[in-house]
Every structure is written in structure tokens, then in C-alpha cells.
Amino acid sequence: MSPARTFPGGILLPAHKHASSATPIRTPALPPELFLSLGDATPLVAVGDPVLKGQLLAAAGSDGLPVHAPTSGHVARIEFAPRAEVPGHRAVLIPDGAERWCERTPVNPATRTLPELLAAVRAAGIVGLGGGGFPTDIKLAPTHPIDTLVINGMECEPYITADDRLMREEAGAIVAGMRLAARLLGDPARILVGIEDDKPEAAAAMTAALAVADDPREIVIVVLPSRYPAGGERQLIQLLTGRQVPSGGLPRDVGVVCFNVGTLYALHRALALDEPLLSRIVTIAGGACREPANYRALLGTPVAHLLAASSYQPARCEQLLLGGPMMGIPLDDVQAPVTKTTHCILAATAAELPPARQPQPCIRCGLCADVCPASLLPQQLLRHAVARDHRQLERHHLLDCIDCGACAYVCPSAIPLVDHYRAAKAEVRALRAERGAADQARRRFEAHQARVARQSGERSARHAGLIGTSADHDAPASAPVDAAPVATDLLEQALARAGAATPRRAPLERALSAAENRIAQLETQLAALDATATEAQRNGLRARLEQARLDGDLARQRLLALPAEPSPTPDGNPQ
């Protein structure tokens, strides 16, 4: 089945996949050490402790992901790793080669409730294995009704074949994971599996596995043209369903959830075998490797260990990338460990990835806009990124960029567009986080002020009520008792006095004036920097300037939100 739908932009790229996909998935020898990032998770083991395969090493941190031992051995040390993908502490595990498992209790999905199954997925530490790394248990509990489950078997970037080999060899387990995901999502009406037309063996294996499964749901395998980046989540959803995920939105907003085939395989093993996510398939490819292949690598395995298994030749390597040639990032340390989001190590020769040319000025050809799969305006984004105009970057939907690199690939001026966008996105996200923290602090302050005013009003009302009661006792017996209007008037007066406790104009005007003075000072300092100033100094001043502008905007908004103060009468009292 080949739908007529398409997505904007995209390019055709040489595949370079046969070298690594021609052989079955390999299991490398155990490395001497495994390096397991702990992040901010709470360690449950100490240096010298023996551990079993699958044993919980650290409880979940802020990312909600626990850390397990990929093999049996002992904890050699717990150290700080500043150069890690996520800087923080890591545990160094020495394998003993015995592969002794901890006690396991497989889950029977038919006898468990959905919350119990989601808890088991969370405890297994499963994330999206297509590269995103988003916690799977959160994706399996959407807040919107889901009518379509999309399975991503595309893998459209050159050289990468991890999912291709996995579908050929483990199609039955992938289908089992797919059925588990469908149950957790409330049994969506249809399941669509996208596979590229250059993977006929994978498509045949998945078709055979579905035939054996005999699932009553509408499950369709859709063979799609190999056009990069058709494997992007939003692009695949548009190809298969015709629905467009809105800017800033998620697939669940249009009734769709998308999973990579590797994630479904891990889901099946987590529930059927009580096996946490301990390993993943990693493609080792490129002309600098004499034996490119796919490896079932334990998490924490040093990249150097996998490169050695593929007969890596450093002298021939022009670029070593973590990822493919389009979206990969330079890998400076071959001792960096395999993580849950590591899907490819590319050791490319100069013939495969020539050295970058010197960037030239933009000639406004428009090719970058033609190939952008997110329908963005790369020229405008570049201009605003260079100018560090974060407001304009957000207005032009910078965060919708998927870093596919298609724009940089076709740029005749060799401008490293994606590098500019990545840096700008980091700044925009940091500023959003600062604004969010400032808004939260403002809301807490306003709630505190309202609570103080309410309590003050209640105390004044109680005090006024006591005075009114005492006066009633002293009144003559023949006087009519009309306490309700008196109490009401006093309550209104107390509430009026409480309203006067709200922030006044003068402090906010002083805050705005101080922010404006600060902005002027920082702009002068930034303009006065000479050629000897470092980029770090410039960035520091720019960040302080942006914060001062945010402070000024906040003070200005609060000023505008205040009610106008009453004008005084000739006798000095407000009207």
C-alpha cells in the first residue's frame, strides 16, 4: 500500500546501508568497564557492592528514569563526569562475566490493570529508542483519545540500519510490543506501520509476524518512498494519516501516538520477561570501519569498545559522529558510553564526509526553504539567530525545527544553519525556563498578598463585630436593635481597607526605572567591548541584558494592570 500523501520539503540521499545491514546483529564481548550515568537519581548501591544483572542501581530522578545494572559484577567507583551527555555522577561497573540475573517476575498483561502495567513500564526505564528518549510510560498515558497508533520503522538517515536488522530478526517480539501498546492506549481503531521501500526484507518479516498474530484490529503495513526525513515523527504521521501536528503541539493533539520499533521490542521484553532496558541496537558504520555492523550493546559500553569490534582505523577517519551524517554531532571522546538514545556511531572518511567549506554570505536562493520539512523560513531564522532576537525566533517557530540538516545540506554558501539553530534553541529554552520561574514566583507573591489581605480583612471584621456587640449591650432597652446593617457596613469598610494593601504604583515605577537604567548600562558595556573580549564575556553581557529587559517588561505589565489611583480633591482627600 502506498498512499498519495506527502509532506513539505525533504531530499533524496544516498543510502549507504548495505555494508552494515548485510550481517545479523552481533553481540560484542563484555567491555572491561561500564559507565552508567546516574543524573540526579538516588544511588542504592555503594562502591564495592556486588550487583546482579537487572538490579536497580539508582531510584528514578527528576526525569523519572531508574538505572539498572546491564550485567552482573561489582561497583568499582562512583565519580563525577563533567563531559558526559548529561553532566553529573556516574557509576562505574566492572563485569564479572557470569551474567547472573536478579530475581525476575514476568508480567501477564491479561491479569494486570492498566495502572499496574504502566508502573511496570516505568520501573523498566523504557524510553523512545528512535533518538528522542521520551519516557514511554508517559506516552502510553495520553490525555486525549487516541484512534491511531503509528509504528515508525523508517530509519531514513544514511548508514543507520539498527531498526532494519531488528525488524528482520525480532518481528514477532515487535508485534507483541505493538499489541501491548495498543491495549495501554485504549485499543485504537487502527495501527499503521511505516517502512521504507529500501527495506523489503523487514517489510516481509513484519507482514509474516502480523499474519501469525491474527489481530482483529486494522493493522496496515505501508511501504513509503525513501525520502529524507520521512522518518521524523510529524512527517510520518502526515504521510500515513494526512493529519498535521500543530506548531507547539504533540501527536496526541490529533489523536495519534507514534512509537519506534525498538521501543516496542523493549516494551515486550519489559513485560513478558521482566527485563529492564539494559541494551540497545547500535549501528557502527563508515569507511573507517573495516567491518561495519549492528551490535546489541549494553548501556554504558564505551564507544571505543564497539569501534574496536568493527576494526576501526583512526588514521582513515575524517569525522567521528554520534549519529548519522545529517543529524549526528561530533564525538570527541571515544570512551563516551552508549546511552539509551545512542543509535549510530559513524566513522566517516574524507571521501564520505569532506571537510566543511568556508561559509559564504547567504545569496537568498531559497533552497533551504524549499527542502524544510517543517515549512519554516530558514533564512529568517538564521538572521534572527545571529542577532540573538529571541522574540522573533519564537514568532518564527524555531522550536519546530527538527535539526534534520536538510537546509544545510543544500546550502550553496555552506552556512552551518543547524549549528546556529541548535545554539539559538538552547537560548530560547533557557529564557522560557527563566520566564516560567519568574511567572511562578509572581503568582506565589500575588497569592501571598491576597492571602494576607483576606486574613487582615477577616480580623478587622471580627474586631468590628465585637465592638458592635458591646455597643448594643449599652443601648437603652427601648432602642430598636438593627445589628445587621451595622455589621455589613463595618465588613465593607474592612474589605476596603484590605484592598488598600494591594501593591501600589510607586514601588513598581521605581522597579521599572531601575530596570531601564540597568538596560542602558548593559547596552553601553556591550557596545564598549573591543576585539580582545572573549565570546563568553559577550554572551554573559547579552544574557544579563536580556534578563534586565524581561524585568522591565514584567514591571511595565504590572504597572499597566494596576487600577488608576483616585485624583485628590482641593482639600487633599481623594475623590
Residues in the chain: 575
Is residue 294 assigned to a domain?
no
In a domain, residue 58? The reply is yes
Please give the pLDDT value at position 262.
Answer: 96
Q: What is the pLDDT of residue 470?
A: 53
- Are 119 and 192 members of one domain? yes
User: Do residues 422 and 449 share a domain?
Assistant: yes
pLDDT of residue 484: 42
Task: Decide: 341 and 323 in contact? Cβ < 8 Å.
Answer: no
Omega within 30 of 0 (cis) for the link into 229: yes
Spatial contact of 376 and 397, defined as CB atoms under 8 Å apart = yes
Q: Is residue 479 part of a domain?
A: no
From 69, 95, 121, give the residue that closes a domain.
95
161 and 221 assigned to the same domain: yes
Q: Which CATH number does the domain housing residue 218 bear?
A: 3.40.50.11540
| Secondary structure string (H, E, C) spanning 115-142 | HHHHHHHHHCCCECCCCCCCEHHHHCCC
Identify whether 293 is part of a domain: no
Residue 41 near residue 66, CB atoms below 8 Å = yes
* Pair (507, 434) in one structural domain: no
Contacts of 492 (CB under 8 A, 6+ apart): none
The rounded Cα 91 to chain-centroid distance in angstroms is 24
| DSSP-assigned letter for residue 445 | H
Residue 77 shares a structural domain with residue 162: no
Quote the domain boundaries for residue 50.
31-95
**Residue 68 sits in a domain of what CATH number?**
2.40.50.100
56-59: strand order across its sheet: 42-43, 56-59, 67-68
Q: Any residues with CB less than 8 A from the CB of 258 and at least 6 apart, and which? A: 149, 150, 151, 152, 233, 236, 237, 251
Distances (CA, A) of 187 to 190, 218, 378: 8, 11, 40
Residues 182 and 76 in one domain: no
* Residue 37: other Cβ atoms inside 10 A: 22
Residues 527 and 463 in one domain: no
Q: Which of 272, 299, 328 is the last residue of a domain?
A: 272
Report the pLDDT value the prediction gives residue 267, as an integer from 0 to 100.
Answer: 96
What's the whole-model pTM score? Answer: 0.77
In the sheet where 73-81 sits, what is the strand order?
34-39, 88-95, 73-81, 50-51
Per the domain annotation, does 160 fall within a domain?
Answer: yes
What span, in angstroms and rounded, lies between the C-alpha atoms of 199 and 172? 17
What HEC string does 139-180 produce?
Answer: HCCCCCCCCEEEEEECCCCCCCCHHHHHHHHCHHHHHHHHHH
Q: How far apart are CA 517 and CA 552, in angstroms?
A: 10
167 with 234, same domain? Answer: yes
Task: State whether residue 287 is helix, strand or coil.
Answer: coil
374 falls within a domain: yes
Based on the fold, state whether residues 119 and 237 are members of the same structural domain.
Answer: yes
pLDDT tens, per residue, the chain with 575 residues: 444 578 899 999 999 999 999 999 999 999 999 999 987 788 899 999 999 999 999 988 766 789 999 999 999 999 888 777 667 789 999 999 999 999 998 888 888 888 999 999 999 999 999 888 899 999 999 888 999 999 999 998 999 999 999 999 999 999 999 999 999 999 999 999 999 999 999 999 999 999 887 777 778 999 999 999 999 999 999 999 999 999 889 999 999 999 999 999 999 999 999 999 999 999 999 999 999 999 999 999 999 999 999 999 999 999 999 999 999 999 989 999 999 999 999 999 999 999 889 999 999 999 999 999 999 999 999 999 999 999 999 999 999 999 999 999 999 999 999 999 999 999 999 898 888 888 888 889 888 888 888 888 888 888 777 666 555 555 444 444 444 444 445 545 554 554 544 456 777 777 788 888 888 888 888 787 776 777 767 777 777 787 778 778 777 877 777 765 555 544 444 44
- What pLDDT shows up at residue 563? 65
Q: How many domains does the chain have?
A: 4
SS3 per residue for 324-369: CCCCCEECCCCCCECCCCCCEEEEECCCCCCCCCCCCCCCCCCHHH
Cβ atoms of residues 305 and 95 within 8 Å: no
Q: Which residue stretches of 11-129 are H helix?
A: 18-21, 114-123
398 to 371, 423, 450: CA distances (angstroms): 16, 11, 38
Residue 210, domain member (yes or no): yes
- Residues 464, 518 within the same domain: no
**Beta carbons within 8 Å of 248's beta carbon, 6+ residues apart:** 397, 399, 400
Q: Are residues 125 and 266 in the same domain?
A: yes
Final residue in a domain of this structure, among 272, 293, 320: 272
Query: 110 and 75, same structural domain?
Result: no
d(CA 117, CA 103): 19
Domain assignment of residue 387, yes or no: yes
Give the side-chain half-sphere CA count within 13 A for 372.
Answer: 21
User: Please, which residues have CB within 8 angstroms of residue 243's CB and are 6 or more apart in sequence?
Assistant: 237, 254, 255, 256
Q: How far apart are the first and last CA of the chain?
A: 78
Rounded Cα distance, 376 and 371, in Å: 10
